[in-house]
């Protein structure tokens, strides 16, 4: 009877009762950095602290790591949109088919031109919105106040995927079709200068136009403001805090730049390091706000980057592909430098502070993990979810799984002229084995990450069985998922994975 009365009351006062029902759900923040490499931090994700870990000043990441667990084998895809789509949908790129970054312009492939291949049949307008259930939608349905701040980049302008409000977010601040800001500077209106604005002019932050406020600071201030509402309403929130930093344009944050020059860094590195410091302050400001509001103990923070650090010369200094050492190469590559990313999870009372977890996990795992954190493991989705929740690893430090396969697939051309495992490459990891497959020529190489993190010793010839096993897994997965593939210009045929 009492239950019935409560139900009737809830019906009458549904908003209030929604609060009561969900008040104990944790708040969740995904702090997703753009293009941040595995080594770009004072937190060592490698076996020991390297020189780079001493150069980057990230006190707030260090504090987060001290209060949580760092994942040393966390993976993204080699470029941003595929990772963001995997997080949003729980699908691997072989399934969602958004294998490359999406243009701000509709129906426009971002693939560079190639002599051998015509473009792959990838989803260049993002996933078809009617074919997916996103986790922000599910969180919102369960009573979460869902907020997106910063870079979205799920689809071109004029497609439903370009607008976070179509994807389950109730609030969108500055997220749209573009993958980077036109400018990080308030003095430049973040690009919104009459007659000079590009597709990358950042929306929504007009209050800071003409001021000295760095974009990362403006996004952080607005993110914090946006949290006032769910706190006031006493409902749990999910914040997708997706800083545009540290993506190009590499523009120094003047609050931190000089200190790196003083440390002796060259201008390119000092500029970049100042953007990392700016991003770290963003994290710290949010953490301080949670503490001030007395909700830090009920708020999960997940720190992650959307792909490896940029390792092209120019923006990142005179020499290419050394920025993520000991990892090989960087953004765009299927070597570890392009896909292995910093990841930290703080979950008060659940995660043991100041710990490390070496289990390999990947972007699509965020979908089921976040839902499990919110108490929503039992949900139905339109799409088949490839990701596996990493929550068990948060709860039990001793759990490991070396039998799982991870797969990467980049049937696209990122830059003119191929680089190390850059352009038309697929890869598979199982345990410590990692296979790199060159789609141009069917060449396979095999590495053992346990003793060759830098992927310099191809041991495929000595290990034909595991090489074949991983190649076969790649072939079967691509076929099963009808994954995008390049086409030969010579005969218009689709590339097929060759098994020796």
201 belongs to the binding site for a second copy (CB under 8 A): yes
- CB closer to a second copy out of 225 and 384: 225
- CB closer to a second copy out of 293 and 493: 293
Determine the distance from the C-alpha atom of residue 22 to the mean position of all C-alpha atoms in its chain, rounded to a whole number.
28
List the one residue from 120, 142, 361, 478 that touches a second copy (CB under 8 A). Answer: 142
Indicate the pairing of strand 145-150 with strand 171-173. parallel
The footprint of a second copy on this chain (CB under 8 A) covers a number of residues equal to 52
Task: Give the whole-angstrom CA distance, residue 388 versus residue 325.
Answer: 29
CB of 158 to a second copy, least distance (A): 4
CB of 300 to a second copy, least distance (A): 18
Question: The dihedral of CA 380, 230, 84, 153: what is its sign?
Answer: positive
193 belongs to the binding site for a second copy (CB under 8 A): yes
CB of 92 to a second copy, least distance (A): 25
Helix, strand counts (H, E) of the chain = 14, 15
- CB closer to a second copy out of 72 and 226: 226
* Burial status of residue 456 (CB atoms within 10 A of its CB: 0-12, 13-18, 19 or more): exposed
CB of 167 to a second copy, least distance (A): 11
CB of 194 to a second copy, least distance (A): 5
> DSSP for 240-251?
EEE--TTSSS--
Phi, psi of 120 (to 5 degrees): -70, 160
204 belongs to the binding site for a second copy (CB under 8 A): yes
List the one residue from 93, 147, 270, 327 that touches a second copy (CB under 8 A). Answer: 147
List the one residue from 24, 194, 456, 465 that touches a second copy (CB under 8 A). Answer: 194
CB of 360 to a second copy, least distance (A): 34
List the one residue from 151, 153, 176, 430 that touches a second copy (CB under 8 A). Answer: 176
Phi, psi of 54 (to 5 degrees): -90, -20
- CB closer to a second copy out of 42 and 230: 230
Task: Give the whole-angstrom CA distance, residue 110 versus residue 155.
Answer: 12
- CB closer to a second copy out of 239 and 435: 239
Stretch that binds a second copy, among 84-92, 207-215, 240-248, 444-452 (CB under 8 A): 207-215
172 belongs to the binding site for a second copy (CB under 8 A): yes
* Burial status of residue 115 (CB atoms within 10 A of its CB: 0-12, 13-18, 19 or more): exposed
CB of 256 to a second copy, least distance (A): 25
Q: Which of residues 152-171 bind a second copy (CB under 8 A)?
A: 157-160, 162-163, 165-166, 170-171
367 belongs to the binding site for a second copy (CB under 8 A): no
211 belongs to the binding site for a second copy (CB under 8 A): yes
List the one residue from 1, 11, 195, 378 that touches a second copy (CB under 8 A). Answer: 195
CB of 13 to a second copy, least distance (A): 12
CB of 196 to a second copy, least distance (A): 8
* Burial status of residue 487 (CB atoms within 10 A of its CB: 0-12, 13-18, 19 or more): middle
> DSSP for 235-302?
--EEEEEE--TTSSS----TTTHHHHHHTT--HHHHHHHHHHHHHHHHHHHHHHHHHHTT-GGGEEEE
- CB closer to a second copy out of 16 and 313: 16
Stretch that binds a second copy, among 10-18, 33-41, 49-57, 348-356 (CB under 8 A): 10-18
285 belongs to the binding site for a second copy (CB under 8 A): no
- CB closer to a second copy out of 17 and 466: 17
Quick note: the x/- pattern for a second copy over 219-258, rule CB under 8 A, is ------xx-xxx-xx-x-----------------------
Count the alpha carbons within 13 Å of 174 in the hemisphere toward its beta carbon: 34
Buried (b) or exposed (e) across 326-353, using 16+ Cβ within 10 A?
ebbbbbbbbbbbbbbbbbbbbbeeebee
Distances from the Cα of 493 to the Cα of 457, 477, 487, 490, angstroms:
33, 19, 5, 8
List the one residue from 131, 198, 210, 375 that touches a second copy (CB under 8 A). Answer: 210
354 belongs to the binding site for a second copy (CB under 8 A): no
CB of 21 to a second copy, least distance (A): 11
Question: The dihedral of CA 429, 458, 498, 438: what is its sign?
Answer: positive
CB of 307 to a second copy, least distance (A): 26
Count the alpha carbons within 13 Å of 223 in the hemisphere toward its beta carbon: 31
Indicate the pairing of strand 27-33 with strand 340-346. unpaired
209 belongs to the binding site for a second copy (CB under 8 A): yes
CB of 130 to a second copy, least distance (A): 10
Q: Which long-range contacts (CB under 8 A, 24 or more apart) does 384-391 make?
A: 384/91, 384/95, 385/89, 385/90, 385/91, 386/90, 386/91, 386/92, 386/95, 387/86, 387/90, 387/91, 387/92, 387/362, 387/363, 388/361, 389/365, 390/71, 390/345, 390/359, 390/361, 390/365
Task: Please give the residue ranges that form the binding site for a second copy (CB under 8 A).
Answer: 14-15, 18, 106, 129, 139-147, 157-160, 162-163, 165-166, 170-173, 176, 188-189, 192-197, 201, 203-204, 206-211, 225-226, 228-230, 232-233, 235
């Amino acid at each position: 009877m009492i239950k019935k009365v409560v139900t009737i009351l809830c019906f009458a006062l549904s908003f209030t009762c929604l609060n009561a029902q969900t008040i104990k759900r944790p708040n969740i923040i995904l702090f997703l950095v753009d293009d941040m490499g595995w080594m770009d931090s004072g937190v060592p994700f490698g076996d020991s602290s390297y020189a780079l870990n001493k150069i980057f000043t990230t006190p707030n990441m260090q504090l987060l790591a001290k209060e949580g667990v760092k994942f040393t084998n966390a993976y993204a895809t080699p470029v941003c949109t595929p990772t963001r789509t995997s997080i949003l949908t729980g699908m691997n790129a072989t399934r969602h088919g958004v294998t490359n970054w999406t243009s701000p312009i509709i129906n426009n492939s971002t693939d560079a031109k190639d002599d051998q291949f015509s473009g792959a049949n990838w989803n260049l307008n993002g996933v078809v919105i009617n074919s997916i259930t996103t986790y922000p939608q599910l969180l919102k349905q369960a009573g979460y106040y869902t907020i997106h701040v910063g870079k979205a980049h799920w689809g071109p302008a004029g497609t439903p995927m370009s607008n976070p409000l179509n994807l389950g977010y109730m609030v969108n601040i500055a997220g749209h079709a573009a993958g980077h800001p036109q400018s990080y500077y308030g003095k430049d209106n973040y690009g919104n200068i009459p007659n000079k604005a590009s597709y990358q002019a950042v929306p929504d932050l007009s209050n800071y136009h003409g001021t000295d406020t760095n974009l990362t600071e403006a996004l952080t201030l607005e993110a914090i403001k946006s949290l006032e509402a769910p706190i006031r309403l006493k409902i749990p929130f999910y914040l997708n805090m997706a800083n545009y930093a540290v993506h190009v344009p590499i523009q120094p944050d003047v609050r931190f730049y000089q200190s790196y020059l003083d440390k002796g860094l060259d201008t390119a590195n000092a500029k970049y390091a100042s953007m990392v410091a700016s991003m770290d302050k963003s994290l710290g400001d949010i953490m301080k706000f949670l503490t001030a509001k007395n909700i830090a103990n009920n708020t999960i923070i997940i720190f992650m980057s959307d792909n490896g650090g940029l390792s092209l010369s120019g923006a990142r200094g005179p020499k290419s592909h050394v920025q993520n050492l000991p990892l090989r190469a960087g953004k765009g590559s299927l070597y570890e430098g392009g896909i292995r990313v910093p990841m930290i999870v703080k979950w008060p009372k659940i995660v043991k502070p100041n710990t490390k977890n070496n289990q390999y996990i990947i972007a699509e795992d965020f979908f089921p993990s976040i839902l499990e954190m919110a108490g929503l493991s039992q949900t139905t989705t339109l799409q088949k979810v490839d990701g596996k929740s990493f929550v068990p690893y948060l709860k039990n430090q001793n759990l490991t799984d070396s039998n799982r396969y991870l797969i990467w697939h980049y049937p696209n051309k990122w830059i003119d002229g191929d680089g190390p495992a850059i352009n038309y490459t697929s890869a598979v990891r199982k345990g410590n084995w990692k296979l790199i497959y060159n789609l141009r020529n069917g060449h396979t190489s095999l590495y053992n990450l346990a003793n060759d993190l830098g992927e310099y010793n191809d041991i495929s010839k000595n290990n034909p069985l595991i090489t074949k096993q991983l190649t076969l897994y790649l072939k079967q997965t691509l076929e099963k998922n009808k994954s995008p593939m390049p086409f030969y210009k010579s005969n218009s045929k689709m590339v097929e994975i060759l098994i020796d």
